Amino acid sequence: MTEELHTDRPHPARVYDYLLGGEVNFPADREAAHQGMRGNPDSRIPPRQNRLFLHRAVRFLAGQGIDQFLDIGTGIPSAPHVHHVAQEINPAARVVYVDNDPIVLAHARPLLTGQTQYIEADLRELDVSTLSDVLDLNRPVGLLLIAVLHFVGDKDEPAAIVERLLAALPSGSYLALSHLTGDYRPEAWEHVTEIYRRQGVTMQVRSHERISRFFSGLSLVEPGLRILPDWRPELGEPGGEPVPSEAQVSVYGGVARKL
């Protein structure tokens, strides 16, 4: 089920775009972002750190020989995109981008090159086995679930969704995942999730223990599930940025290999 383009209510992709300094957002999105910032003045830090983690994770996967990526919950384009980062390491790398927000589709043009595809789909319903025309499902794939599963409530059984997505991929594939947590500032994140809830949008932060379960049955690569800046900082862009505190970041990330 894809989403309607309700510009009168905040939408996660557009609020995230606003927090990253993008321009694809509406007054309702900016208002929600500002309400969130009143409860958590560091609201711009998680999106920024999340993008940096995404880049490091893709560099890691490309370095392991992964040359095809399935990026689900792509978001409004924010350069560098996954294909830019992967193709710096392997110019032949291919990416399939997936999102269920029509506004992402409307802005997908920068994501489309000869080696990339965009598919509008909901990860709760996506059948990866139908992607065999755009991905070679006999060879390892890098599955990216970056800052998307906290928009899937428990009633939709996100762990079962991850298991189902991975089941269609061969052994040697990888999962890279990041997810918001309330472990450090539970009240601030309750405030943010309440803003979304009032607008009918599901957002659910989860504990380290709960997020670890998404990696069940996989081999977690070092250093495991960590607060984002602690995950392989050596793979980051040169020059770097000041490293925020764990509480300011409040997003865990990790990468695991399918055995």
Ligand X SMILES: C[S@@+](CC[C@H](N)C(=O)[O-])C[C@H]1O[C@@H](n2cnc3c(N)ncnc32)[C@H](O)[C@@H]1O
Binding positions for ligand X, rule: CB under 6 A: 12-13, 16, 50-51, 54, 72-75, 99-101, 104, 122-124, 146-148, 151-152
Cα-Cα-Cα-Cα torsion 98, 160, 4, 54, nearest 10 degrees, comes to: -40
Nearest approach in angstroms of CB 259 to ligand X is 25
Nearest approach in angstroms of CB 148 to ligand X is 4
138 or 200: CB nearest ligand X:
200
Nearest approach in angstroms of CB 138 to ligand X is 25
**Are the CB atoms for 64 and 139 separated by under 8 Å?**
no
76 or 256: CB nearest ligand X:
76
Residue type, 182: G
Helix (H) or strand (E) holding 175: strand 174-180
Chain centroid offset of residue 30 CA: 21
Distance of alpha carbon 139 from alpha carbon 50, whole angstroms: 27
Q: Where are the alpha helices (DSSP H) in the chain?
A: 12-19, 27-39, 45-63, 82-89, 102-106, 158-167, 186-198, 208-212, 246-249
43 or 74: CB nearest ligand X:
74
12 or 140: CB nearest ligand X:
12
42 or 122: CB nearest ligand X:
122
Nearest approach in angstroms of CB 219 to ligand X is 23
12 or 182: CB nearest ligand X:
12
Chain centroid offset of residue 74 CA: 7
Tokens encoding 50: 């999340």
Residue nearest ligand X, CB atom distance: 75
Helices 27-39 and 186-198, interaxial angle, to 10°?
A: 160
Nearest approach in angstroms of CB 180 to ligand X is 9
Distance of alpha carbon 175 from alpha carbon 39, whole angstroms: 32
Please tell me what DSSP assigns to residue 70: E
Nearest approach in angstroms of CB 51 to ligand X is 5
Nearest approach in angstroms of CB 195 to ligand X is 15
105 or 169: CB nearest ligand X:
105
Helix (H, G, I), strand (E, B) or coil at 137: coil
